[in-house]
Amino acid sequence: MGKLVVVTGGTKGIGRAIIEKFAAEGFDVVTCSRKQGDLTALTKDLTTRYSIQVDTFQADLSNLDEARAFTDFVHQLGREVDVLVNNAGYFTPGQITTEAEGVLESMIGANLYSAYYTTRGLAARMKERKEGHIFTMCSIASIKAYPNGGSYAISKFALLGFSKVLREEMKEFGVRVTAVLPGATRTSSWDAVPLPEERFIRPEDVAEAIFGAYSLSPRSVVEEIIIRPQLGDI
């Protein structure tokens, strides 16, 4: 039985690229999504191309009950989690003073609570084993304020804080913690932006960086990965 990677929100974009990379390296995969159809299609594709086990679960991780159901599902597989990637979340542009009511709550739920709930559900066993690696998908918006960032930027600043605190809590247990801060990455979030492909990071490059950080010896940890387009932020 191979090693196991758990990637939240893994059916599209960066999450999908991460799953593809780990699958190519022989990892079994667990992921979740709000849409069962996307999970079914992912499972069919991965099991056709790789000799791995794929398990999926439909859940909205911004909801505590559903997040608990997902982590319970992972535990019921009877597998040790070697890598957890907190990737679930989404982006909506806006300004603090004019964005719609409820946007902040929605962003905090999807981008911060999802990582908080999932980590709480899965990290205890990593501590007991004294091994494992937790990646959290932050953003350049976690360190750089910009117009039209609104509640998304607020949630990503908080998510980086979460990862920093988690790093301090987990270091004595041998569990590595890495915050990933990509700039503009060519995913569906940017479909309406009329810019050439070369202005964006490839999702596959983010996945390669994550796997590279994971591949270091247990004596070392990459605490933060900052990736920007070669031509700079958009």
Spatial CA neighbour of 179 closest among 211, 133, 225, 126: 225
Query: How confident is the chain (234 residues) per 10-residue block, as mean pLDDT?
Result: 94 96 98 97 97 97 98 98 97 94 97 98 98 98 93 98 98 98 83 82 96 97 97 89
- Residue 234 within any structural domain of the chain: no
Residue 207: strand, helix, or coil? helix
Question: Which pLDDT does position 126 carry in this prediction?
Answer: 98
Which residues constitute the domain of residue 179? 4-227
| Count: domains in the chain | 1
Count each helix (H run) and each strand (E run) in the chain, helices first. 7, 7
Q: Are strands 54-58 and 28-33 parallel, antiparallel or unpaired?
A: parallel
What pLDDT, on a 0 to 100 scale, did the predictor assign at position 188?
A: 72
Burial of 72 (0-12, 13-18, 19+ CB in 10 A): exposed
97 within some domain: yes
The answer to the question of residue 233 being in a domain is: no
pLDDT at residue 187, as a whole number: 79
Q: What is the pLDDT of residue 77?
A: 98
Judge contact between 10 and 16, C-beta under 8 A.
yes
Supply 228's token pair. 């920007």
Residue 232, domain member (yes or no): no
C-alpha closest to that of 18 among 203, 156, 221, 190: 203
Q: Is residue 135 part of a domain?
A: yes
Is residue 87 included in any domain, yes or no?
yes
List CB contacts of 89: < 8 A, sequence separation 6 or more: 9, 110, 111, 114, 137, 155
Q: What is the CATH number of the domain that holds 146?
A: 3.40.50.720
Can you state the angle between helices 114-129 and 64-76, rounded to 10 degrees? 30
**Is residue 87 classed as helix, strand or coil in its secondary structure?**
coil
Q: Is residue 71 situated within a structural domain?
A: yes
Q: Cα dist. 147→58, 151, 152, 155 in Å?
A: 34, 11, 11, 15
Which residue spans within 34-168 are E strands per DSSP?
54-58, 83-86, 133-137
What's the CA gap between 105 and 90, in Å, rounded? Answer: 13
Contact by Cβ (8 Å): 130, 174: yes
